[in-house]
Structure 1
């Protein structure tokens, strides 16, 4: 059975005075119907650019330079602009990273919400208003009958995020793209928003693509994980496999750098030393090579994807088994620092 969303070799660049910044360099993944998939990685890994590319929200000097984004047989990258406008907010909706700037500050919340409903559902003014009040109640806004006539500045950050979610789910989309939907929210509100999105998957069959840097959130609500670094997918697989048996050194580093809770654990956090690659001039091989403790001569060439098991793949020579180990270790910046410290 075909996937709801199939992304194949997606490439997006920003053409600046300094040159071409290759933010997304050939990303491929799928999303099944009713599934919640997490895309994780540090800042600059290409998560948000890849997400916006799915529905062509990249603004100049950015440009999608290659690939396919197939939503139930339709390649969104080749749709005419008019057809794309009908798709956005209807079949595919997006929760943007910053609710403070995503809502128009001089237009009432109810007007902004009903505009989406009337455009895609062809409802009258009164029916759209009733639907908007119902949505605000669903996302936990108290006294929605009064709140609907207020302006965004009269809402807290958490409530504005809820309004954005209400707007995104107003037309029951087939795919919901959530870009850091819980950033800067307190833990209680964060949990409520995640529960709301999970409930949406379970009750309506909507698929959710969750972009985040928070591995704890991914472990809580997602079924599969896509790990990005340097504009590429480093590893992809089921949540259990990624957390229990990560295959890529970058994924291992991410997991070592987050605190463990419960069980009286007192493990020391291990940061990933070094800096991400310069995507103005990306390395020809593995982008994590300069920071990897297992770097080999072979890493100067980009490896293929190796499958540890069906659905769990890793872009690393080591994942291919003992035959791919190379005795030629390449000293990294971290090695040099340790040697200087020892002397």
Structure 2
């Protein structure tokens, strides 16, 4: 490779990785009928890498990404909650469509999303009945269920579930602090035994972390990736997780590696894809964490400040439920 090619690669905006992936899927992906019935174009096995040093974050510039919404969702994961009520109270509607669809099917009531969200916030009994998502992400991250033998009867062993399960996130913090060379810094969301009870099985299912010197690197694997709507949030969430862990463990942020299994674009996202691919990345948003809480579970939305983010306009598209 000649010197001019090296210079080009060095100066190329990181976001071209995302746009190149989007273009590849749209031009070359296999067209498939998916669970939602909408249909996708899909490739299998994709990867991208992002340098998180010097406060860098994979925050798209070719359309606006609502990073505060994504951050509020991630902080909600860390609470282990499985009901959308606290999200709706913050006007975060990322998860509202799934319980709303269930409500409409069960009752025949065509309630609007705004009305449904308002009712969830204002009516605790309604929220308890209709706002639950099952044991999704955060439940597995901080309270993975554990069963213990509790005697036996004529038909075999009896097991009971512990009152408190495994807090994978807390365990990773401790292992990064005390066993940085471990190859077991993993947070896993794919609990096979509970998939059927979840509103949506985890897409960003596996996180693994790696210490190299004083740098913390992370890998995020997604079994299923909606590139147009989901991936911008997933990249932010993965980078946010790494940055928070690095701060808690007195390490420097290193590199985020993203890997996708079924990596797709929905067929009804054509207008979004064409508009975004016509845009050129520009500028860089950087994020500062303004406070170091005592625990990774004590961060608040005000602890994160983004500077220099001047994205192009938002591009809307329907969510496939």
What TM-score comes out, normalization by structure 1 length? Answer: 0.31
Larger Rg: 1
Q: Which has the higher contact order (CA 8 A, sep 6+)?
A: 2
